[in-house]
Chains A and B, each alone.
Chain A
């Protein structure tokens, strides 16, 4: 039914980038996530799948502490990035987010020029010393996001004037420009047509060489195509986590099986 994961997307790297232990998230009184334990590997694409409202986005947002911006959200448990607890009191979430970039479901470029969109992150993090260096980062980021060819002649035009798919790739370029170690993507293709989706998927596969990528998706095909590891969430629980090939061909939990065969969700 689904494309069998081909050999080259086999997991090749095994060092752990992020370790989550006993993560619980509450929105006010309501618990949205229960006891999530997961190890996210470096240079690997990890897909989060599961029915709507099961807590995929919630967990993703824990990984760069975007949940801090929701006033009634409370996170318990431990999330280690390279062995350091990101919820430690000494950690500044702003510094964390420079390391753990994020691409949102809806393309949200800044209402500024294409150039400024990409240059913003490097600028505020002081990654460059000269305009030439900044230009270089902008170009390489746009190239990585497969957008350079389309926009190289109109870098001064507003990013909001691009098509939806171009905007999403611009957002990816923006996230890539800050040289993160982990890239979180929440349904990055949900607003894109199949061609743009294919481009983004290709891109994700390339990005794997430099970062650990975590992607939330509702498309089984997409998860199967791009990821090496898959986590299946259901009703706030992490039901199953393992190699993508294993989850899609031989799930150990009956809930996973019924979800990927389309019976729940």
Chain B
């Protein structure tokens, strides 16, 4: 730009005829054209990225939103005391002997009976086909409920449980009559029955809180799989990462920026920090496996180990961001503080840190966001395991219990064969995105609050 301006000056000055300002010179036209072209490139680049983003969001949402809804069967069940408590003494140990199979039989029979009383024809489908409507999750839940409160025995209660994945898929449009014809797990006649049951209000779709609260479920019952354990695992890890990475990162940055002498050692540290920020995250996973699990013998798959690995991984990023924020504080502020006789510590804590806080916060939240979405290192420390039990509360050593994390759950669901898990995978991505957006909003709010003029 400057070159163009200076080359125009000699052209304009010795010009024989006085050039009019109302007509553009050839050079000016060229420069304006270049500018217009550059703007067009920029707009095009933004359009491309926006449309890619839009496509991505659209696919995720169109696949994933349905994970938040779930087909469920609602019908009355008479809890037959003879079948569920053969000894009749309401003794928990005795009742435990009736396995879920006993409950499955009961539910199957009761569903058939209910269809009959409602006058819904089961033409063309066997009793087994009707039984296949009920998720394996339902008998297990019913059993837990009865064991918990044996006084229910003999009563008639309304049971509302998940329908199986194929029926759920049919209600959501994932399964059609065409695909059912090719599928050994479901028949067209079953779909017809599903239509009739839906008309009668036995089969309905509801918002599925279980998707957010349930633990993961086995391959046979995708309908019961939820993000509960992954959410707790991610929450534990994020909390631990914040608690570890902020003090470490800020202390290291302050020391390096404000106190450390400039010598070969600090140069070496500086180079290493930049390099560490560029190390692929899976390397941190191997490191975590070697140090925290094999050497320090921390429990595998535990949020504590995950958090330690993620802390190591985000530390360089946070140190770099924090140092940049500290360096951006005008030196005149430091001079001013030192000039009135503040000590180095006072200068840093009263003046430099408050001014650097917005930058530090932004860096930290960005680091946390990348840690939240990190999968590879967690795979190596065993957080991809199938975990069906919730970890304990944070004060009961829950950080040492096995857990998974949101991105790992996305990964493991995406690699299962049943298409119902793909839907859940997309749903989990939505939850992950919601978390990231929330974190960014918090970052923006905090930044606004801390930001000051100087």
List A residues at the B interface (Cβ < 8 Å).
Answer: 64, 66, 69, 71, 94-98, 101-104, 106, 108-111, 120-121, 124-125, 158, 160-161, 171, 174-175, 177-178
**What would be 25 A-B contacts, judged by CB atoms less than 8 Å apart?**
A66-B335, A66-B339, A71-B261, A94-B338, A94-B341, A94-B342, A97-B341, A98-B340, A101-B340, A102-B335, A103-B339, A104-B335, A104-B339, A106-B332, A108-B332, A108-B335, A108-B336, A110-B333, A110-B337, A110-B351, A111-B452, A111-B453, A120-B342, A158-B452, A161-B453
Instruction: Answer whether A160 and B453 are a contact pair too, CB < 8 Å, given A104-B332, A108-B332, A111-B355.
Output: yes
> Do residues B262 and A120 form an inter-chain contact, with CB atoms below 8 A?
no
Chain B residue nearest to A174 in the complex (CB):
B340
For A160, what are the chain B residues with a Cβ–Cβ distance below 8 Å? 453-454
> Do residues B262 and A69 form an inter-chain contact, with CB atoms below 8 A?
no
For A171, what are the chain B residues with a Cβ–Cβ distance below 8 Å? 336
> Do residues A121 and B341 form an inter-chain contact, with CB atoms below 8 A?
yes
Chain A residue nearest to B260 in the complex (CB):
A71
Q: Which of B420-454 contact A (CB under 8 A)?
A: 452-454
Q: Is the interface of B mostly helix, strand, loop or mixed?
A: helix
Q: Which of B351-402 contact A (CB under 8 A)?
A: 351, 355
For A125, what are the chain B residues with a Cβ–Cβ distance below 8 Å? 341
B90 on the interface (CB 8 Å rule)?
A: no
Chain B residue nearest to A95 in the complex (CB):
B341
For A120, what are the chain B residues with a Cβ–Cβ distance below 8 Å? 337, 340, 342, 350
Query: Of B333, B336, B340, B350, which one neighbours A178 at CB under 8 angstroms?
Result: B340
For B337, what are the chain A residues with a Cβ–Cβ distance below 8 Å? 110, 120
How big is the B interface, by class?
A: 20 to 34
Give A171 to B339 CA distance when docked, in angstroms: 10
B334 on the interface (CB 8 Å rule)?
A: yes
- Chain B 305-332, CB-CB to A under 8 Å as 1, else 0, gives 0000000000000000000000000101
Instruction: Answer whether A175 and B339 are a contact pair too, CB < 8 Å, given A69-B334, A104-B332, A160-B454.
Output: yes
Closest Cβ of chain A to B258, distance in Å, is 10
Q: Which of B248-282 contact A (CB under 8 A)?
A: 261-262
For B346, what are the chain A residues with a Cβ–Cβ distance below 8 Å? 124
> Do residues A102 and B339 form an inter-chain contact, with CB atoms below 8 A?
yes
B343 on the interface (CB 8 Å rule)?
A: yes
Give A108 to B355 CA distance when docked, in angstroms: 14
> Do residues B340 and A175 form an inter-chain contact, with CB atoms below 8 A?
yes
For A121, what are the chain B residues with a Cβ–Cβ distance below 8 Å? 340-341
Give A66 to B347 CA distance when docked, in angstroms: 14
Instruction: Answer whether A111 and B336 are a contact pair too, CB < 8 Å, given A124-B346, A178-B341.
Output: no
Closest Cβ of chain B to A181, distance in Å, is 12
Return the 4 tightest CB-CB contacts between A and B, nearest first.
A98-B341, A111-B454, A108-B332, A121-B340
Give A158 to B355 CA distance when docked, in angstroms: 14
Chain A residue nearest to B351 in the complex (CB):
A110
For B262, what are the chain A residues with a Cβ–Cβ distance below 8 Å? 71
Chain B residue nearest to A111 in the complex (CB):
B454
Closest Cβ of chain A to B113, distance in Å, is 76
Give A121 to B452 CA distance when docked, in angstroms: 21
Give A98 to B343 CA distance when docked, in angstroms: 10
